[in-house]
């Protein structure tokens, strides 16, 4: 039994799944970023291009803030790259689930459309479909998310002056709230513990050193969660009596 008849159907289902919460979340976050770019005196082209070419909201915000505060180019590049290290493991946990035929150099192109939103949804949906349908589902899901981002940014840039602050406030809050809510859908215990520990340790490491805090939290909390799961929670392998 298969959820989709063919790859085209998987692609369209991806599009349909995108045109709900995921697109809304990206759009809202990017409107907030556009408004932020405007209030800091950046030009509209620049702010929109950031969303199209970088497409990583936390990194974009870090770049903007650091540039304003007059950090050196090297420091900006370094801090943004550290913030983006999550992409390494996000890709590593998502792409091995694709069909072997789809794991080719074209992935270097598709990977640009991967953001936390499409990742969270794909991690939830992939186990429910056959491997040969997963890439097309992912593309259907990620493409609208990517395309809406520069549009939201430019819109946010131009409406920043006259939209009430209350509306912008509601919009910028959608982004973190979405990720918080998707955590309740995570099934494996190792990942659940990792989320819990990450929530606690994240702020602690952030106070110690903001730039490297994500990477450090990931390594410490993730490894601890993996170990606890392996040591105590997994069903013991059945020992065959001879």
Q: Which of residues 123-162 bind other proteins (CB under 8 A)?
A: none
* Residue from 9, 12, 19, 21 in contact with other proteins (CB under 8 A): 21
**Mind spelling out the 3-state secondary structure of 107-134?**
HHHHHHHCCHHHHHHHHHHHHHCCHHHH
Nearest distance in Å: CB 1, other proteins: 21
CA distances to 63, 74, 242 from 212, in Å:
15, 15, 52
* Span interacting with other proteins, options 7-15, 133-141, 142-150, 195-203, rule CB under 8 A: 195-203
CB 79 within 8 A of CB 61: no
Identify the CA nearest to 210 among candidates 82, 86, 116.
82
How many whole angstroms separate alpha carbon 233 and alpha carbon 146? 38
Task: State which residue, 41 or 237, has the beta carbon closest to other proteins.
Answer: 41
How many whole angstroms separate alpha carbon 236 and alpha carbon 216? 30
How many whole angstroms separate alpha carbon 83 and alpha carbon 80? 5
Nearest distance in Å: CB 145, other proteins: 15
State the binding string over 84-123 for other proteins (x if CB under 8 A, else -): xxxxxxxxxxxxxx-----x---xx--xx-x-x---x---
Q: Which residues contact 6 (CB under 8 A, 6 or more apart)?
A: 133
Q: Does 212 participate in binding other proteins (rule CB under 8 A)?
A: no
Task: State which residue, 1 or 70, has the beta carbon closest to other proteins.
Answer: 70
* Span interacting with other proteins, options 3-11, 140-148, 150-158, 193-201, rule CB under 8 A: 193-201
Q: Which residues contact 186 (CB under 8 A, 6 or more apart)?
A: 123, 192, 195
Q: Give residues 213-232 in contact with other proteins (rule: CB under 8 A).
A: 213-215, 217-223, 225-226, 229-230
* Span interacting with other proteins, options 6-14, 135-143, 144-152, 164-172, rule CB under 8 A: 164-172
* Span interacting with other proteins, options 10-18, 135-143, 146-154, 178-186, rule CB under 8 A: 178-186
How many whole angstroms separate alpha carbon 176 and alpha carbon 95? 24
Q: Give residues 28-87 in contact with other proteins (rule: CB under 8 A).
A: 28, 32, 35-36, 40-43, 46, 49-50, 53-56, 58-61, 63, 65-68, 73-74, 76-78, 80-81, 84-87
Identify the CA nearest to 172 among candidates 65, 34, 5.
34
Nearest distance in Å: CB 144, other proteins: 17
* Span interacting with other proteins, options 6-14, 134-142, 143-151, 199-207, rule CB under 8 A: 199-207
């Amino acid at each position: 039994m298969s959820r989709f008849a063919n790859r085209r159907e998987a692609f369209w289902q991806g599009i349909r799944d995108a045109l709900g919460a995921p697109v809304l979340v990206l759009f809202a976050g990017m409107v907030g970023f556009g408004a932020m770019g405007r209030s800091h005196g950046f030009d509209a082209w620049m702010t929109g291009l950031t969303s199209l070419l970088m497409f990583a909201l936390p990194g974009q915000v870090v770049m903007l803030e650091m540039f304003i505060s007059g950090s050196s180019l090297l420091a900006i590049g370094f801090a943004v790259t550290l913030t983006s290290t999550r992409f390494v493991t996000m890709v590593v946990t998502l792409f091995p689930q694709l069909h072997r035929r789809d794991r080719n150099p074209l992935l270097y192109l598709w990977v640009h459309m991967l953001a936390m939103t499409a990742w969270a949804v794909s991690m939830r949906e992939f186990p429910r479909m056959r491997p040969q349908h997963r890439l097309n589902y992912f593309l259907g899901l990620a493409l609208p998310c990517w395309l809406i981002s520069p549009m939201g940014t430019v819109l946010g840039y131009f409406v920043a002056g006259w939209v009430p602050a209350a509306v912008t406030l509601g919009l910028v809050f959608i982004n973190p709230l979405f990720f918080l809510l998707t955590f309740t859908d995570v099934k494996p215990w190792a990942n659940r513990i990792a989320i819990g520990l990450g929530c606690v340790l994240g702020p602690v490491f952030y106070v110690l050193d903001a730039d490297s805090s994500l990477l450090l939290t990931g390594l410490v909390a993730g490894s601890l969660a993996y170990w606890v799961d392996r040591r105590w929670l997994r069903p013991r392998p059945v020992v065959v009596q001879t």
